[in-house]
Amino acid sequence: MSFFTTADGTRLFYKDWGTGQPILFSHGWPLSSDAWDQQMLFFGQQGFRVIAHDRRSHGRSDQTWDGNNMDRYADDLAELIEALDLKDIIMIGHSTGGGEVAHYLGRHGTARVAKVVLVGAVPPLMLKTEANPDGTPLEAFDGIRDATASNRSQFYFDLTMPFYGFNRDGAAVNDGLRESFRQIGLQGGIKGQYDCIREFSEVDYTQDLRRIDRPTLIVHGDDDQIVPIRAAAHRAAEIVPNATLTIYEGGSHGLAQTEADRFNADVLAFIQA
């Protein structure tokens, strides 16, 4: 079990396996680094060094009352990168982790980074506004807050159905994946996970995306029921200079797990290009 302590005294859990060019993974809400199991095994076997941390208040990291915001998440990531002296990094972020990666790049720069992958990522902005009419209404996020506060065990289990597209006609439901999602989610602290809802829904990452000057692959399912593609990947691909957009037809929000072989192959090809 590996931990490092941040500048504000928070202990964060991380995995650091293998050797070679580093790939750094940032997970989605309300999960942990365990969500990247299939990617870490695959890329480690391909000769890469694979690293993933549990965001504060998620997984095995400290459950903090304060500091559960994207500025601190990005700073935590920067401190981990510096502590491990990572260079020439491939940064991969899913969902909220995509916001974390984007905000790290916007806040701390790209000097240590080689390439970027955003999958089912929340940037530039999930919230529906006059300037972002394809976004999701605030009432939907208020509902997530209420469900997390009142009965997060059942909510996390129910969330797996749209998250992985298991609610679609003909979908093969993976009960083990559903239960794993709930168990991983419940490892984290309710206060930090509650606070994080604002960070993935109401924070505008447009300026962060504009500062990305590294080759960027944006992967998104066109049936993503959690982060709809029109307000996310389509707009992000227009903002990030020279980004490559890959759309998975019928793909869900959890495509890195439900379509792991394809996703891993696409990312490997992007890295090697």
Q: Determine the Cα angle at 239 with ends 234 and 242, to 5°.
A: 95
Asked if the model's pLDDT at residue 35 lies above 80, the reply is yes
CB 115 within 8 A of CB 216: yes
Give 254's DSSP letter: T
Q: Does residue 265 carry a pLDDT above 80?
A: yes
Residue 1's pLDDT band (cuts 50, 70, 90): confident
Whether the pLDDT of residue 54 is over 80: the answer is: yes
Statement: the pTM of the whole predicted model exceeds 0.95: yes
pLDDT at 242: 86
Longest dimension (CA), the chain: 49
Domain hosting residue 203, numbered range: 2-272
Q: Please state the rounded mean pLDDT for residues 17-25.
A: 98
Residue 253 among the catalytic residues: yes
Number of helices (H) and strands (E), helices first, in the chain?
Answer: 10, 8
- Mean pLDDT score of the chain: 98
pLDDT digits (tens, 9 = 90+) for 80-112: 999 999 999 999 999 999 999 999 999 999 999
Phi, psi angles (nearest 5°) of residue 247: -105, 130
Q: Could you give the CA distance from residue 214 to residue 37 in angstroms, rounded to a whole number?
A: 26
The percent of residues in the chain predicted with pLDDT above 70, rounded, is 100
pLDDT grade for 155, boundaries at 50, 70 and 90: very high
From 95, 103, 108, 266, the catalytic residue: 95
Q: How far is Cα 58 from Cα 39, in angstroms, rounded to an integer?
A: 19
Say whether 61 is catalytic. no
Tokens of 89: 């990094």
With tokens 């999960």, the residue in question is 31
pLDDT tens column, 114-142: 999 999 999 999 999 999 999 999 999 99
**What is the C-alpha to C-alpha distance for residues 182 and 247, in angstroms, rounded to an integer?**
27
Q: Is the peptide bond before 124 cis (omega within 30 degrees of 0)?
A: yes
Catalytic residue, candidates 34, 54, 208, 224: 224
Q: Residue 124 sits in a domain of what CATH number?
A: 3.40.50.1820
Count CA atoms closer than 13 A to 133's CA, side-chain side.
1
Which one of 27, 94, 108, 253 is the catalytic residue?
A: 253
**pLDDT at residue 157 in the model:** 98
Task: Identify each DSSP E strand in 80-158 by its residue range.
Answer: 89-94, 113-119
The number of domains in the chain is 1
Burial class (CB in 10 A: 0-12, 13-18, 19+), 132: middle
